[in-house]
Amino acid sequence: MSLTLPVSGEGEPVSFTPSTIIFKPTFSNTNSTNTKVTFKNVGTVTLTLTSLVPSPSNYTINYTGLTTGSCSAQPLALAANATCTFNVAFNPGTTLGVIPGTVTANFTGDPNGVTQMALNVTGTGTEVSLSPASLAFGTVSTGTLNKSVTVRNVGTTPLSFSGTPTITGTGSGQFAVLPYSATGPVSTCLNGTVTLSNGQSCTFTVQFTHAADTTTFTTYLNISDNGGGSPQLVKKTATD
């Protein structure tokens, strides 16, 4: 004899798009750019959005630029498959490093009794400015090519480095961080005594060496420091 058991399940009644937010590293006491989020009733009955609550206070909700279809008029009734939009912004304040958070949507009307759902958000506070943010070596048909990134301390905490940056990614063996040289403009951050006060800067110089084959390389320079958001990542691209 066989038995057939009914199986049922209920998914979440609402959704967020994007489903998570990861903000780029943001300078202390500086507002990030807005990230637009679409909130959707994915159920079969009308729900009423009663509030959107960001936490901690480093995250805020705004409706700048959302002229129609925003979630601002709460309580807001949303029919099945209806949507509304809002912006999330991040400000690290004086906190350095990763700051996890949530935006919680509170609502009523779900027949299964679900009353809230959280959107996970992550931001990083930093006092490190990188210029340029990426190094594009272009096509190197022979020999070597050097390019430098300038690291600047834009905060009040003295900035120091933890050793020589590492290189990761496809073709990392074709790239090298040049050591400090008193006679050339290479890797002044590696003179062994560098600590950057507010507004001070130094450089890391990366050398790309042509390989025998024709390949496009994408790697990252990983700069370890105490400025928040370490390691700082500098994307590097090159083509033989």
- Would you state the pLDDT for residue 37? 98
Q: Alpha-carbon distance 87 to 23, whole Å?
A: 13
Mean pLDDT of 16-43: 97
Q: Which of 49-53, 87-91, 196-200, 235-239 has the lowest mean pLDDT?
A: 235-239
Q: Are 10 and 45 in contact (CB under 8 A)?
A: no
pLDDT band at 240 (very low <50, low <70, confident <90, very high): confident
Biggest CA–CA distance in the chain, Å, is 88
pLDDT band at 67 (very low <50, low <70, confident <90, very high): confident
pLDDT band at 8 (very low <50, low <70, confident <90, very high): very low
CB atoms within 10 A of CB 170: 12
Measured between its terminal Cα atoms, the distance across the chain in Å is 69
Q: Of residues 165 and 210, which shows the higher confidence score?
A: 165
- Would you state the pLDDT for residue 214? 64
Q: Of residues 1 and 70, which shows the higher confidence score?
A: 70
Q: What is the DSSP letter of 94?
A: T
Tell me the domains of the chain and their CATH numbers: 14-126 (2.60.40.10), 128-239 (2.60.40.10)
Enter the pTM of the model. 0.83
Mean pLDDT of 186-214: 90
- Would you state the pLDDT for residue 3? 43
List the alpha helices (DSSP H) in 65-199: none
- Would you state the pLDDT for residue 184? 75
DSSP symbols for 101-131? EEEEEEEE--TT---EEEEEEEEEEE-EEEE
pLDDT above 70 for 10: no
Q: Are 20 and 58 in contact (CB under 8 A)?
A: no
Q: Alpha-carbon distance 93 to 125, whole Å?
A: 8
pLDDT above 50 for 4: no
Q: Is the dihedral of CA 19, 20, 24, 29 positive or negative?
A: positive
Cα-based distances in Å from 7 to 4, 24, 40, 112, 229: 9, 43, 26, 16, 46
Q: What are phi and psi of 174, to 5 degrees?
A: -85, -5
pLDDT band at 6 (very low <50, low <70, confident <90, very high): very low
pLDDT above 90 for 91: yes
- Would you state the pLDDT for residue 212? 72
